[in-house]
Amino acid sequence: MANIEQLIDLLIPDPILSSTAIHNRKQRRSSILDPYRLEIMTLYDEFGQSGTAIQIWLAHKKNIYITKGMIYKRIQYWRKLNESMIKDEKQRQI
């Protein structure tokens, strides 16, 4: 009978290292909240709803249970993303 470490080693392969490491690539972080971005941002910005209210809305309407902190972090991320997109667009126009 194999122990748990041996089973893990058999089932989960070691990562393959290459010259193009994944951490060198810029990747967009995805979240369970991303499909509801417009609704969350509308609730937060236009209707002035708090993270708690959005948390309750997500739980009742979308069956998503997430902390207020994660909601605020995602809103902050989306704002930074928008700012960088606007900056890039302005640079292209120049």
First-to-last alpha carbon distance for the chain, in angstroms, is: 68
pLDDT confidence of residue 36: 96
Flag the least confident range among 7-16, 25-34, 37-46: 7-16
- Is residue 86 included in any domain, yes or no? yes
Q: Which domain holds residue 55?
A: 35-94
pLDDT at 89: 82
> Is 81 domain-assigned?
yes
Domains of the chain: total: 1
2 pLDDT band, cuts 50/70/90, is low
pLDDT tens per residue, range 51-67: 999 999 999 999 999 99
- Residue 19 pLDDT: 45
The C-alpha atoms of residue 6 and residue 13 are separated, in whole angstroms, by 12
Answer yes or no: is 83 within a domain: yes
